[in-house]
Amino acid sequence: MKKLSNGRLSVEADSFTDHFHSSISFDSRMYKEDITGSIAHARMLGRQGIIPLKDSIVIISALEEILKDIESGKITFDEKAEDIHMNVETILTERIGDIGKKLHTGRSRNDQVALDIRMYLKNQVTDIRELIYKLLETLNNIAKEHMETIMPGFTHLQNAQPVTFAHHVLSYFEMFSRDSDRLADCYKRINVMPFGSGALAATTYNLDREAVCNELGFDSITRNSMDGVSDRDFVCEVLFCLSLLMMHLSRFCEELVLWSSQQFKFIEISDAYATGSSIMPQKKNPDMAELIRGKTGRVYGELIALLTTLKGLPLAYNKDMQEDKEGVFDAVDTVKMCLPVFTNMIATMTINKEDMLASARLGFMNATDGADWLVKHGVPFRDAHSIMGEIVMYCIEKGKTLEELSLDEYKSFSPVFGESIYDDIDLKSCVNRRTVKGGPSKEYIDRVIAENDELLKGERFL
Ligand code: ARG
């Protein structure tokens, strides 16, 4: 059969060329969006009297049948028909003959593909935000159990100041909630309907774009037909949002990898999320965490690939733009696999409180609190900092911790020292006296957890 779009061409492409430029192997996943868009278009054409109303009814019911048949696996797509748009139209015409040929009145594949990808991404962004929601819930629940679990906070991966596991985990609550917000914001720009832009210069038919917009559940319509068919900035935005999300996941994964090592032993990953070694019988490897960390690279790659594809493209549609889909599909699939694996992995891991505490006792993490004690007793901070520095050096020499020094030893560095220094350098009190908003104290974290519970009940993450 001669292709629907080939009136102008005298020679058919050979099968290898067809294979090269065909996109049906990947854009078939937008079949539902494509058919839903076509149904709205056909209904509008009929209502506007652009095609006879009775024809539009025939087209709509045939499209509904095609949708059902695709879903029940009765239809196999044809590479020769290039993409999902041409495949659906070809099947339609095969089924209802000349009436089917009227569907493409007043539209182009260029506005069709722009519509389909927007519809597809709206659903995907919603799904991903739901997965983030589950992760946020899990993080908040973990925090509830660990408001008093002392662990070292690090800078430069060196013990820095004591925090709690709740505080650490809730820092990720903040990051992932911003990831969700970013996707929600990007959703607003996806939610604009390009249909009616035609190939690039709209159309002379009296299209009712608002009616199509309402039927398809978009917020508004694009204001310039050339922009409508030729920009994919919203795809880049999705890829950027997903890249940041993966970056956050990969940082947490890196921590899980470190923490599950023999050197840290802060956590034990459930056997369900670990693997053995083919040669070393004793091994339990955090493969899932590593894989999520690794998959971050491909999501970044998709972002850079699309930015590069779009760079320098003249207006309006160019076939280069067909390259937008595989990348964003892959990024979406990757994120949708990583999020639930990650959420379940952290929900089922064991937290070794004793090992965390033991590690927090190393590295003089309460030295700042010693300096703060001196400041409270009239010593300027810079002097206090240097006195505590000397004390730490002394401790290293003697193989002692700050808690183990006698008051006489303290006094040999500054006569100001008194008994209450021991209260202030106690790790628990180091954490819980940091009651400032944003800090790790139990008092404050308690409030944050309650606020998070409220947030999770509200509109923000839905
Ligand atoms: N398969 C194409 C894409 O994904 C659809 C638009 C094709 N338009 C064209 N004029 N060749 O971008």
CA of 82 to the centre of ligand 1 (A): 9
- Any atom of ligand 1 within 6 Å of the Cβ of 319: yes
pLDDT of res. 61 = 98
Q: What is the pTM of this model?
A: 0.94
Where does the pLDDT of residue 76 fall: very low under 50, low under 70, confident under 90, or very high at 90 and above? very high
pLDDT of res. 114 = 98
Mean pLDDT of 83-93: 98
pLDDT of res. 2 = 56
- Any atom of ligand 1 within 6 Å of the Cβ of 321: yes
pLDDT of res. 282 = 85
Beta partners for residue 162, in sequence order = 152
Mean pLDDT of 12-31: 92
pLDDT for 311-331, tens place per residue? Answer: 999 999 999 999 999 999 999
Other CB atoms within 10 A of residue 74 CB:
10
Catalytic residue of the set 10, 156, 278, 406: 156
Which atom belonging to ligand 1 lies closest to the Cα atom of 317? 10
Q: Which residue has better confidence, 251 or 462?
A: 251
Three-class SS of the chain: CCCCCCCCCCCCCCHHHHHHHCCHHHHHHHHHHHHHHHHHHHHHHHHCCCCCHHHHHHHHHHHHHHHHHHHCCCCCCCHHHCCHHHHHHHHHHHHHHHHHHHCCCCCCHHHHHHHHHHHHHHHHHHHHHHHHHHHHHHHHHHHHHCCCCEEEEEECCEEEEEEEHHHHHHHHHHHHHHHHHHHHHHHHHHCEECCCCCCCCCCCCCCCHHHHHHHHCCCEECCCHHHHHHCCHHHHHHHHHHHHHHHHHHHHHHHHHHHCCCCCCCEECCHHHCECCCCCCCCCECHHHHHHHHHHHHHHHHHHHHHHHHCCCCCCCCHHHHHHHHHHHHHHHHHHHHHHHHHHHHHHCEECHHHHHHHHCCCCCCHHHHHHHHHHCCCCHHHHHHHHHHHHHHHHHHCCCHHHCCHHHHHCCCCCCCCCHHHHHCHHHHHHCCCCCCCCCHHHHHHHHHHHHHHHHCCCCC
- Any atom of ligand 1 within 6 Å of the Cβ of 110: yes
Mean pLDDT of 171-181: 98
Asked whether residue 437 carries a pLDDT value surpassing 60, the answer given is: yes
Residues in Cβ contact with 212 at an 8 Å cutoff, skipping those fewer than 6 apart:
37, 40, 41, 44, 193, 195, 196
Q: Report how far apart, in Å, the C-alpha atoms of 383 and of each of 366, 396, 423 are.
A: 17, 20, 21
Where does the pLDDT of residue 98 fall: very low under 50, low under 70, confident under 90, or very high at 90 and above? very high
Do 247 and 304 form a contact (C-beta atoms < 8 A)? no
Site to substitute for ligand 1 among 6, 9, 83, most atoms within 8 A of C-beta: 83
- Any atom of ligand 1 within 6 Å of the Cβ of 159: no
CA of 230 to the centre of ligand 1 (A): 11
pLDDT for 289-302, tens place per residue? Answer: 999 999 999 999 99
pLDDT of res. 54 = 98
Site to substitute for ligand 1 among 25, 110, 328, most atoms within 8 A of C-beta: 110
To the query of whether residue 277 is one of the catalytic residues in this protein, the response is: yes
Asked whether residue 1 carries a pLDDT value surpassing 70, the answer given is: no
- Any atom of ligand 1 within 6 Å of the Cβ of 113: yes
CA of 111 to the centre of ligand 1 (A): 9
Catalytic residue of the set 277, 377, 386, 414: 277
Q: Which residue's CA is minimally distant from atom 3 of ligand 1?
A: 322
Which atom belonging to ligand 1 lies closest to the Cα atom of 199? 10
What percentage of the chain exceeds 70 in pLDDT? 99
Where does the pLDDT of residue 402 fall: very low under 50, low under 70, confident under 90, or very high at 90 and above? very high
Do 3 and 21 form a contact (C-beta atoms < 8 A)? no
pLDDT of res. 321 = 97
- Any atom of ligand 1 within 6 Å of the Cβ of 23: yes
* Separation CA 121–CA 116 (nearest Å): 9
Do 82 and 22 form a contact (C-beta atoms < 8 A)? yes
Residues in Cβ contact with 406 at an 8 Å cutoff, skipping those fewer than 6 apart:
none
CA of 319 to the centre of ligand 1 (A): 6
Which atom belonging to ligand 1 lies closest to the Cα atom of 113? 5
Average pLDDT, the chain: 96
- Any atom of ligand 1 within 6 Å of the Cβ of 116: no
Q: Which residue's CA is minimally distant from atom 12 of ligand 1?
A: 322
CA of 320 to the centre of ligand 1 (A): 9
- Any atom of ligand 1 within 6 Å of the Cβ of 84: no
CA of 160 to the centre of ligand 1 (A): 55
CA of 91 to the centre of ligand 1 (A): 18
Mean pLDDT of 435-448: 97
CA of 198 to the centre of ligand 1 (A): 12
Site to substitute for ligand 1 among 22, 112, 113, 120, most atoms within 8 A of C-beta: 113
To the query of whether residue 19 is one of the catalytic residues in this protein, the response is: no
Which of 72-76, 276-280, 298-302 is predicted least confidently? 276-280
pLDDT of res. 7 = 75
- Any atom of ligand 1 within 6 Å of the Cβ of 34: no
Closest CA to 188 of 229, 233, 225: 233
* Separation CA 163–CA 152 (nearest Å): 6
Instruction: Give me the torsion for CA of 310, 311, 315, 321, rounded to 10°.
Output: -20
Mean pLDDT of 83-103: 98
Closest CA to 91 of 195, 4, 199, 212: 4
pLDDT for 370-392, tens place per residue? Answer: 999 999 999 999 999 999 999 99
